[in-house]
Amino acid sequence: MEPTVVDRHFSRHKKNNCPLCLLRNNSVLFMVVIFVAGVFFYNLYPTELEITKMIYAKTIWLGFIGVTVFSSILTTLALILSRSGTKNKHSIDKKIVTPLSFNASNINWGCDIQTTNSSLYSAVDYRRTEHGSFLNPAELSHGQYFLADSDNSSTRIDEQLCLAAIAFETHEGAFIANKEGVIVRINSAFSEITGYHAEDVIGKKASILSSGRHDNYFYVQFWESINNTGKFAGEIWNRRKNGEIFPQWETVTAVKDEQGNAVHYVALFSDITQRKNDEKSIRDLAFYDPLTTLANRRLLNDCFSKDLAKAKRHGRIGALLYLDLDGFKHVNDEKGHYFGDQVLVDVAARLKENLREEDTPARIGGDEFVVLMAAEYTGFDSAEQSAKALAEKIRESLNNNYILAGHSCVLSASIGIALYSGDSSEISSVLRQADQAMYKSKINGKNTITVYAPAEK
């Protein structure tokens, strides 16, 4: 059975030594004492006089009745006071939650409850000395009212706040910003990921995390997504407190009022540095030679396809250089595979030093290298002259001594050149032509350059 209003009043005030409650309880005790004492004295001093017995009996019963009436009056007063002071949770029609004070070491949230009879009650006033312990319950428990109208209410409120705090303290970084973009709340994961603590960012713009890597167009799309859909989810590069720029996956959600206006923004993010590194490792294994870090055959095919499309679209000419190291097999067998691998790494480095950014060096196997010159020449003659100049530059660079791991050697390179235009069908045919030109260089005495001229030239 649900306790009555009076029972709730007395149970609530008993621990606080309410004077009215004590008087009411003591009056009942006084009534019992009078009754027991009267019976005791009536039997202790028996008398033959009936009038004396009658006086005793009337005194006992009058005292009993008087105390009972007095107790009833006190009970009625308690009922009136209880009704005037009770906050009935079923009469709530509006909730107003206002942060009374907020700083880095203390949070004081006051929840005012507006009832149907226009009475305003302060129902919740929570303080936590350690920053980061709890959130505003009104923000995380939308539609729930935290009222102190029973003995168990404080326990229920603490449970709700603990659940809210647990939900906020996840492995993901989180912060809450007001409509001006000023940070008002962070969790512990935020500090772990960014290096910023509460005193560093509370009260400051969220742009304190900006890395400067994104342009204005990115932020235009960012706010368009939030304004149109209420949220944004995507990859953002931010800056840690130590200045390191790192990638994160971030979800920003707008918290709106009853009129649909954004009043707060809640951001959740995770550091995806490891994921990006893993993706790069997988991509490197798929598209790059693990020894020299040059492009492999697959990436070379992709780059050639893009250049071929460019050549067709703009009518441009490009070139492909095919290199084979002269005498590398002998060096590799005589000085060991470790020395041979270091020579290949050094060759790759020398290739990179002599190429433009738009050119693509690749290792397609063993001691064979390819250089893809971007299709940007207007005619075959200019493309051929540029290709021969680059090949000569590479040949001279590779002819220098290799001093590695306590050994030294001298190598040269035979180079074949093939030109391609928008009419070329695929890279395999161009590679075959360049390979044939390279073998002619070997036949002609090695360490030379030969150009394969397409039939349509």
Cα distance between residue 166 and residue 134, in whole Å: 9
Q: What are phi and psi of 49, to 5 degrees?
A: -80, 115
Contact by Cβ (8 Å): 323, 435: no
The three-class DSSP label of residue 379 is coil
Specify the DSSP element, H or E, that contains 432.
helix 427-443
Long-range contacts formed by 421-425: CB under 8 A, 24+ apart? 421/311, 421/315, 421/316, 421/317, 421/318, 421/375, 421/380, 421/454, 421/456, 422/308, 422/311, 422/312, 422/313, 422/315, 422/316, 423/456, 424/308, 424/311, 424/454
- For 398, the token pair is 């590779």
Considering only CA atoms, which of 417, 360, 411 is closest in space to residue 392? Answer: 417
| pLDDT value of position 308 | 87
Positive/negative CA dihedral, 299, 300, 305, 306: positive
Structure tokens at 201: 């960012």
Q: Please check whether residue 198 is in contact with residue 175, taking contact to mean a CB–CB distance below 8 angstroms.
A: no
What is the three-class DSSP state of 190? helix
Question: What does pTM read for this prediction?
Answer: 0.51
What are the angstrom distances between the C-alpha of 164 and each of 106, 183, 431?
A: 17, 19, 64
Which pLDDT tens digit goes with each residue over 205-264? 999 999 999 999 999 999 999 999 999 999 999 999 999 999 999 999 998 888 888 999
Average pLDDT over residues 93-109: 36
- 231-235, 323-327, 334-338, 429-433: range with lowest mean pLDDT: 334-338
CB-CB contact of 378 with 317 (8 Å):
yes
Burial class (CB in 10 A: 0-12, 13-18, 19+), 358: exposed
Distance between CA atoms of 396 and 388, rounded to whole angstroms? 12
Residue closest to 386 by CA, chosen among 341, 363, 411, 354: 354
- Kindly state the tokens that stand for 312: 């067709």
Instruction: Give which of 184, 186, 174 is closest to 204, Cα–Cα.
Output: 184
Q: Tens digits of per-residue pLDDT, 345-360?
A: 999 999 999 998 899 9
Percent of the chain with pLDDT over 70: 62
CB 253 within 8 A of CB 266: yes
> 310 vs 142, which has greater pLDDT?
310
Lowest mean pLDDT among 58-62, 322-326, 344-348, 417-421: 58-62
Q: Phi/psi of residue 196, each to 5°?
A: -85, 135
